[in-house]
Amino acid sequence: MSTYILWDIDGTLIYNSPSGGSLYMKAVEIVTGVRPTVRVESPHGMTEGQLLTQILEVNDHNPTLVDEVLFELDILAREQHERGFVRDACAGVQEALDTFQARGWTNALLTGNGPTRARYKLLAAGIDPEIFDWDHSYFGHEAPTREHLAAEARTALVDAPAFIIGDTPNDHVAARAASIPFIAVATGIYSVEQLRHTDAIVVIEDFVSGLDDVLAAIDARL
Ligand SMILES: [Mg+2]
């Protein structure tokens, strides 16, 4: 039985992009014909389905348009990728991925993104998508919240040991709801200090200084 390391993407594997929300706004504009003007507060850690539904709602559009917006979002993501869009992998994640794999653990994704977006983001940051087990990865584009996503992972992985790595208190709430231990990394918008308010089994600044602490925390629970 493998040990599953379930990685969040934004702020965890890849640094948040300053223009992160613009693709969402564009996808909504294509579907509704109107550029959204009202922004959603605290979008970090939301699933894409959740965030897009809220963007539609706060801008007085029918939230059931979310499926069409997700469809357009995938097209925009592909076009952005083809234009050579580049993202930055968070410090130390490649070594962490390699180290986990060398130990026989399974790297997988637990992300608010859909699979198409997830794949393009990884490629843009120079992370090989094949290092992840896509059959045991969980995508939130259609999940109403991150808790639903974590619950889906817990059910699918049955009794296999699993850990969630994320950068926001939302990741923690989801992990706790599914009784999956949470590992917090401060490469997103939340500081080590803020993440210590979660009950993460370990909180690290990044995977350069923190990999050994993460390995020790996981070993202690296997
Ligand atoms: Mg994140």
pLDDT of 90-128, one tens digit each? Answer: 999 999 999 999 999 999 999 999 999 999 999 999 999
113 CA to middle of ligand 1, Å?
A: 10
Residues with CB under 5 A from ligand 1 (ion): 8, 10-11, 167
Per-residue pLDDT, averaged over 148-163, amounts to 94
- State the helix-helix crossing angle for 66-82 and 115-124, rounded to 10 degrees: 20
pLDDT at residue 43, as a whole number: 86
Residue 9 alpha carbon to ligand 1 centre in Å: 6
pLDDT band at 42; cut points 50, 70, 90: confident
pLDDT of the residue at 214 = 98
Report the 10 Å Cβ neighbour count for 49.
23
The structure tokens listed for 217 are 């925390």
Cα(39) to centroid(ligand 1), Å:
18
- For the chain, what is the mean pLDDT? 95
CA of 187 to the centre of ligand 1 (A): 9
> For residue range 45-88, what is the model confidence (pLDDT) as tens digits?
889 999 999 999 999 999 999 999 999 999 999 999 999 999 99
Query: Where do you find CATH 3.40.50.1000 in the chain?
Result: 4-15+88-219
Residue with structure tokens 């808790």? 147
Distance CA 155, CA 160 (A): 10
What percent of the chain stands above pLDDT 70? 100
- Above 90 in pLDDT, residue 18? no
Q: How far is the CA of 57 from the centre of ligand 1 (A)?
A: 23
φ, ψ of residue 26 in degrees (nearest 5): -65, -40
- Which residues, at least 6 apart from 144, have a Cβ–Cβ distance to it below 8 Å? 47, 49, 50, 53
Q: How far is the CA of 131 from the centre of ligand 1 (A)?
A: 19
Q: What are phi and psi of 139, to 5 degrees?
A: -115, 135
How far does the centroid of ligand 1 lie from the alpha carbon of residue 192, in Å? 14
Q: According to the model, what pLDDT value does residue 136 have?
A: 96
CA of 199 relative to ligand 1 center, distance in Å: 17
Report residue 172's pLDDT band, with 50, 70 and 90 as the boundaries: very high
Banded pLDDT at 143 (limits 50, 70, 90) = confident
3-state helix, strand, coil in the chain (%, to 5): 45, 10, 40
Of 3.40.50.1000, 3.30.9.10, 3.40.50.2300, 3.40.50.300, the CATH number of 4-15+88-219 is 3.40.50.1000
User: Residue 139 C-alpha to ligand 1 middle, in angstroms?
Assistant: 13
- Going from the Cα of 112 to the center of ligand 1, the distance in angstroms, rounded, reads 8
* pTM beyond 0.85: yes
Instruction: Assess contact for 90 and 114: CB atoms under 8 A.
Output: no
SS3 43: coil
- Whether the per-residue pLDDT at 19 is higher than 80: the answer is no
Cα(98)–Cα(193) distance, integer angstroms = 28
